[in-house]
Amino acid sequence: MNLIELKNKDNLSMKNYVYKILKKNILELRLKPGTNLRKEEIAETLQVSRTPIREAFLKLAEEALIDVYPQRGTYVSYIALDNVEEAKFMRQTLETAIVKLACDLLTEDDLFKLRTNIRLQEMTSAQSDYINFFRHDNNFHRILFDACHKSNIWNAMDQMSNHLNRFRILSLQEKFNSKALIEEHRSIYKALEKRDSLKVENVMKEHIERVRIDANILKREHPEYFK
């Protein structure tokens, strides 16, 4: 089994170490939907016992990233478009609210973080590094929640976005929209800089609505990823 391991596993329990490795590989589509996860193979690859693997499986199943079938095996879950749509609705609702709040609360330091983040997006897009582009894309949105003192809401929302995040990575992997996403982030930034709450709300809504556009293409081109 070819797994990308964590660069820093210090201070992690064995259960969390295995969980984080498997989750990272599932979210980044290195472990594709439908992959059979065999405990023996994972134990040999990671040099761990079966106990932390069983514990990690329980957590991943709770997050709908794996499906466990007694007597049949454990498999990476397929991307469920119903879950993608639900997460999109949640993000659209919360993020249009957060950008309106950000118009009142953003500091110059926050604006600097957003500008720096957009430059990082440009760099990783130019390098076709879609995994790190995804991370910077996510961090752009996280900065807004942190600036509005709503970090816990971001964490809860991100935890419920596993199917959406895999969907977004698949979209980036197919090179559909990184340049368009950067332009939309620039538009969000400019509206925030001008403290234009109406404009930024509309831009953010359209930005997240992009999921619906990509869904038709991705399901047609990659039916093997979807439930």
- Quick check: 96 and 199 in contact, CB under 8 A? no
| Structural domains of the chain, ranges and CATH numbers in brackets | 14-76 (1.10.10.10), 81-225 (1.20.120.530)
| Per-residue pLDDT at 141 exceeds 70 | yes
Beta bridge partners of 20: none
What is residue 176's predicted lDDT score, i.e. its pLDDT? Answer: 65
Task: State pLDDT tens for residues 106-118.
Answer: 999 999 999 999 9
Mean pLDDT value across the chain = 93
Averaged pLDDT, 49-78: 94
The band of 87, judged by pLDDT with boundaries at 50, 70 and 90, is very high
Q: Which of 39, 31, 41 lies closest to 65 in space, CA to CA?
A: 31
What is residue 15's predicted lDDT score, i.e. its pLDDT? Answer: 85
| Per-residue pLDDT at 13 exceeds 70 | yes
The band of 9, judged by pLDDT with boundaries at 50, 70 and 90, is low
Three-state DSSP class for 10?
A: coil
Averaged pLDDT, 198-221: 91
What is residue 10's predicted lDDT score, i.e. its pLDDT? Answer: 55
Comparing 39-48, 58-67, 169-178, 196-205, the range with the smallest average pLDDT is 169-178
Averaged pLDDT, 174-190: 90
DSSP for 25-87 reads HHHTTSS-TT-B--HHHHHHHHT--HHHHHHHHHHHHHTTSEEEETTTEEEEPPB-HHHHHHH
Spatial separation of the C-alpha atoms in residues 144 and 142, rounded to whole Å? 5
What is residue 169's predicted lDDT score, i.e. its pLDDT? Answer: 94
Averaged pLDDT, 187-209: 96
| Per-residue pLDDT at 207 exceeds 90 | yes
Which residue would you say has higher pLDDT here, 56 or 15?
A: 56
What is residue 3's predicted lDDT score, i.e. its pLDDT? Answer: 83
The band of 11, judged by pLDDT with boundaries at 50, 70 and 90, is low
